[in-house]
Chain A
Amino acid sequence: MSKKKPRVRVNLKRRDFLTVAATAAGSAVVAQLVTTGPLSPFSELKEAQLTGLETKEHPPGEHHWGMVINLDKCIGCEYCQRACSAVNDVAPDKPWNIVVEDRTETGHKFFFSRPCLHCQHAPCVEVCPVQATYVREDGIVIMDYDRCIGCRYCEVACPFDARKFNWEERADENEFVPTWGVPEVERRPRGVVEKCTFCNHRIDPALEKGLVPGEHLEATPACVNVCPVGARTFGDMNDPDSNISHVLKENPTLQLREELGTNASVYYIPPREGV
């Protein structure tokens, strides 16, 4: 083509121009299609991003287990922390559930408690190099202790400090056993990360027996059962008639660090004086 250039300059120029214009337009269309258009591998994500802000998504399964914690009711007794530590045989100095005293901006005292929030877009799940932690179909974020390599990236990534590492082989006596419950799961081995499971060891067998988590005690997380003031409500957020759905409908609630878009399954009713 370049050899002919001097002879038929005008024609070739036009052809060149058309070629360039067509190529540019073509690539623009293709780029548009594959980046944001229907051919894009990210189109689903993008749609989720656009719609997710309006309505909370639920996991694909039949149930979506969730919890509401009423900060207005919590009296800071730490019973939830103790029952949790006993039932799940958690090291007392590395609790899965924490209770801390806080003050609102107006100076009112309130107690803040936190299990794992079971985020639907969990940062810890995204970063795990071996998929040792994942979001189940019912929304519970769970650990595979047999797969974890102990790199602790999930601990670094969790915005809520909800993950604990087993720095040593545990030989301690659990001070909360048997006063606050008896261990229902094995201790985790040295070198893996552990976390709150929403007591899935109670939920899974209970469902087979036809019990309803959130209503029957043996199907409900220990921290919810033990709360003396009923500050915690547990249940299926997919079921519009469940306790938790009613509580969510009737109260103003918030998710922790909503701006991160993790879509936690734990909702909080703020103290009445405001935060």
Chain B
Amino acid sequence: MTTLSISRSRFSFSPGFLAWLAFLAICLGIGLISAFQVLTNGLIVTNMSNTVPWGLWITIDLSSIALGAGAFTLSAVIYIFRIKPLERIARLAVLVGLIGYSSALLTLVMDIGRPDRFWHPWVFWNVHSVLWEITWCITLYLGVLLVEFAPVISDLPIFDRWPIIPRIGHGVHKAAPVLAVAGLLISLLHQSSLGATYGIIKARPIWFKPSMPIMFIISAVAVGPALTMAAALIIEWVTGRKEVPHKVLRTIARFSGLGLLAYAYIKFWDLAAVTYYGSTPGSNNALYILNQYTPYGFGFWIGEILIGIVIPVILFLVPRFNRKPMNLILGSVFAAAGIVINRWIVTVSGLIVPMDYSPGVEFQLDPGVYTPSLVEWGIVIGVIGYALLVFTLAVRFLPIFTNGGSKSSS
């Protein structure tokens, strides 16, 4: 058995696989060059400014954390609610979560002005800061993910020589329900706190509302599992091995569809509150500016509602569509795009609306302008390359699907 898997991984680099690795290498190269630029010259190489101090990178942070939410959602469903058939996808969910969170941390280290002081939040506490709490939660949860992922590593044939290692791995796996509870608590906390990061900023009328954390957590819970489902389908599509029964994947799709409907419901009331019964002079002015000077009104309806909610809901929930794997992949891609667009619009639209503080005078400052620079895109390409590379290598060389699914078919 051992020799079989080793020989399989050593000798089957197909041309397509090599081309894919080369593509990823180019992405990583672009990322490394950009990172070098940022680290040597400082954040001046970005197009962020004192008016718009956050931009594309924060969007990627928030999106990759939200898209990594499948790990805690599915772990909770599998180990706390004991939905056994889903267990086939548990390791994949943890892998996607690990990749999401580590990508977020990578981008974050680029984004802060002093990467050498990244450890400060752990030493210098400000318990009043949501960002402090988020930093703690993200690192703690990354730890939980690593422990949850440990059995995957210890299952490697390499460790057959030292039986203690697989045994530890199985012991850790026995603790899966405990880890799932911890993951659930920590994730519910920080996924919503990411929304609160914006929701508590009382100076900015576009952000300052209690619905922010709720929309963030619901969208993450809805779309995270969908991405894991899409990952399973793509693996099946590339390798030709049916690792997870389609019935299970359709269940996840339906879950995501219902989650997106809940998200749409909250979003509807949020829209009603902001534009109608809860509108203030400040938020009215801000919306006026956004509609006059930016594409974000359009972006909201097309990007967030149509692409991010309506299309995925139809593809996930209508039986005629969700039987085709291609539709499920498409739906997940659209839903994920909706998340990224939402996080982008939240970040940038809140910042480009100028703040009014001079007594009695409106629009004293000009609206901010922001389009990401090449270096910013370079970092994003590098991070995406990193994520895809880890995903590819893990799927290729690690026993991601339990119970010997891959071994029996090879």
Chain A contact residues, CB within 8 Å of chain B: 71, 94, 100, 102-105, 112, 114, 123, 126-132, 147-153, 155-161, 163-169, 190-193, 254, 256-257, 260, 268, 270, 275
Contact = CB atoms under 8 A, between A and B. Distances in A.
A256 B197 CA distance: 23
Interface stretch (B12-20, B62-70, B119-127, B313-321): B119-127
Contacts of A123: 201-203
A151 B42 contact: no
Contacts of B51: 161
Given A129-B129, A165-B53, A160 B357 contact: yes
Top 3 nearest A-B pairs by Cβ distance? A150-B113, A191-B113, A159-B203
A128 B112 CA distance: 13
Nearest to B124: A130
B365 A161 contact: yes
B314 to A, nearest CB: 37
Nearest to B361: A102
B358 interface: yes
Contacts of B54: 152, 156
Tell me if A's interface is mostly helix, strand, loop or mixed: loop
Contact-residue bracket for chain B: 35 or more
A112 B365 CA distance: 12
B169 to A, nearest CB: 35
A152 B121 contact: no
Contact of B364 (A102, A129, A131): A102
Residue of B41, B112, B130, B365 with most partner-chain A CB within 10 A = B112
A112 B124 contact: no
Of residues A94, A148, A152, A254, which shows the largest number of chain B Cβ atoms within 10 Å of its Cβ?
Answer: A152
Contacts of A256: 357-359
Interface in B29-64: 41-44, 46, 48-51, 53-54
B135 interface: yes
A128 B130 CA distance: 9
Contacts of A254: 359
A126 B131 CA distance: 10
Q: Which of B44, B51, B118, B129: most chain A Cβ within 10 A?
A: B129
B124 A147 contact: yes
Contacts of A114: 357-358
B124 A150 contact: no
B355 interface: yes
B44 A165 contact: no
Q: Which DSSP category, helix, strand, loop or mixed, fits chain B's interface?
A: loop
B113 A166 contact: yes
A159 B364 contact: no
A268 B359 contact: yes
B50 to A, nearest CB: 5
B130 A160 contact: no
Contacts of A275: 359-361
A68 B204 CA distance: 26
Contacts of A167: 42-44, 46, 48-49
Contact of B114 (A127, A131, A160, A192): A192
A189 to B, nearest CB: 8
A191 B126 CA distance: 20
B112 A150 contact: yes
Contact of B121 (A102, A103, A149, A165): A149
- Residue picked from A71, A160, A161, most chain B C-beta under 10 Å: A161
Most chain A CB atoms below 10 A, which of B48, B202, B203, B364: B203
Given A126-B129, A127-B129, A192 B357 contact: no
Contacts of A257: 203, 357
B202 A129 contact: no
A159 B200 CA distance: 12
Nearest to B128: A126
B120 A130 contact: yes
B351 interface: yes
A164 B124 CA distance: 22
Contacts of B197: 153
A192 B126 CA distance: 17
A112 B113 contact: no
A190 B113 contact: yes
B351 A159 contact: no
6 contacts: A128-B131, A129-B121, A129-B135, A155-B50, A156-B351, A168-B42
Contacts of B355: 159-161
Given A130-B121, A168-B42, A191-B42, A156 B201 contact: yes
B53 A155 contact: yes
Contacts of A159: 202-203, 355, 357
Contact of B113 (A130, A160, A192, A268): A192
B200 to A, nearest CB: 8
A94 B130 CA distance: 28
B42 A169 contact: yes
| Best-surrounded residue of B41, B118, B128, B360 (most CB of chain A within 10 A) | B360
Interface in B325-362: 351, 355, 357-361
Contact of A168 (B41, B114, B130, B357): B41
Given A104-B360, A129-B120, A130-B132, 10 more contacts: A102-B358, A129-B121, A130-B117, A151-B111, A156-B351, A161-B51, A161-B355, A164-B50, A167-B46, A191-B113
With a 10 A CB-CB cut-off, give which of B111, B128, B204, B361 has the most chain A CB atoms: B361
A237 B341 CA distance: 48
Most chain A CB neighbours (cut-off 10 Å) among B113, B125, B351: B113
A129 B132 CA distance: 4
B44 A168 contact: yes
A147 B120 contact: yes
A165 B49 CA distance: 8
A100 B53 contact: no
Contacts of A153: 129, 131, 197
A148 B113 contact: yes
A131 B203 contact: no
A165 B129 CA distance: 19
A113 to B, nearest CB: 10
Contact of B130 (A105, A127, A158, A270): A127
